[in-house]
Amino acid sequence: MMTVVRLGYVAMSVHVPHCSPSQTMTVAQFRVLRDREAAIRKLERIARSNINNCLRLLKHNKAHEIRFFRLSSRLIPLANHPELENWDYLAPIREALQTIALFLQEYPMRLDFHPEHFVVLNSPDPDVFRASLNTLKLHAELLSGMGIDLEHRCVLHIGGGYGDKEKALEQLIHNWAYVPVWGQRMIMFENDDTVFTLRDALYACEKLSVPLVFDLHHHLANHDEEDWRPDWERIVATWHHSPLPMKMHISSPKSDRQFRAHHDFVDAEMFIRFLREVKGTVKQLDCMIEAKQKDEALFQLVRDLKHYNDLEWIDGASFFIK
Residue 36 pLDDT grade (very low, low, confident, very high; cuts 50, 70, 90): confident
Q: Identify the DSSP state of 155.
A: E
Return the pLDDT at 35: 86
Return the pLDDT at 226: 78
Picking from 241, 234, 250, 312, the residue whose alpha carbon sits closest to that of residue 285 is: 250
Distance of CA 309 to CAs 277, 297, 306, 313, 320, Å? 16, 21, 8, 10, 11
Least confident of 26-40, 240-254, 304-318: 26-40
3-class secondary structure, 113: strand
What does the CA dihedral 174, 177, 179, 185 come to, rounded to 10 degrees?
110
Residues 64 and 317 sit within 8 Å (Cβ to Cβ): yes
Q: How many CB atoms lie within 10 A of CB 261?
A: 15
pTM score, two decimals?
0.96
Return the pLDDT at 33: 86
CA pseudo-torsion sign 17, 18, 22, 27: positive
pLDDT at residue 224 is higher than 90: no
Q: Which residues contact 49 (CB under 8 A, 6 or more apart)?
A: 23
Between helices 268-278 and 294-305, what is the axis angle to 10°? 70
- Interatomic CA distance for residues 76 and 88, integer angstroms: 11
Residues 265 and 300 sit within 8 Å (Cβ to Cβ): yes
Q: Which residues contact 237 (CB under 8 A, 6 or more apart)?
A: none
Residues of the chain above pLDDT 70, percent: 100
Residues of the chain above pLDDT 90, percent: 90
Longest dimension (CA), the chain: 64
Mean pLDDT value across residues 22-42: 90
Residue length of the chain: 322
pLDDT at residue 85 is higher than 90: no
Return the pLDDT at 225: 73
Picking from 48, 62, 53, the residue whose alpha carbon sits closest to that of residue 12 is: 53
Return the pLDDT at 129: 97
Return the pLDDT at 29: 92
Residue 34 pLDDT grade (very low, low, confident, very high; cuts 50, 70, 90): confident
Mean pLDDT value across residues 97-124: 97
Query: What are the backbone dihedrals phi and psi of residue 250, each rounded to the nearest 5 degrees, phi first?
Result: -125, 135
Least confident of 186-200, 222-236, 262-276, 289-303: 222-236
Distance of CA 119 to CAs 35, 70, 97, Å? 31, 17, 23
pLDDT at residue 80 is higher than 80: yes
The CATH superfamily label for domain 3-321 reads Divalent-metal-dependent TIM barrel enzymes (3.20.20.150)
3-class secondary structure, 1: coil
3-class secondary structure, 9: strand
Residues 305 and 268 sit within 8 Å (Cβ to Cβ): yes
Please provide the average confidence, as pLDDT, over all residues in the chain: 96
CA pseudo-torsion sign 219, 293, 60, 90: positive
Mean pLDDT value across residues 156-179: 97
Residue 182 pLDDT grade (very low, low, confident, very high; cuts 50, 70, 90): very high
Classify strands 187-190 and 154-157 as parallel, antiparallel or unpaired.
parallel
- Interatomic CA distance for residues 49 and 19, integer angstroms: 9
pLDDT at residue 57 is higher than 80: yes
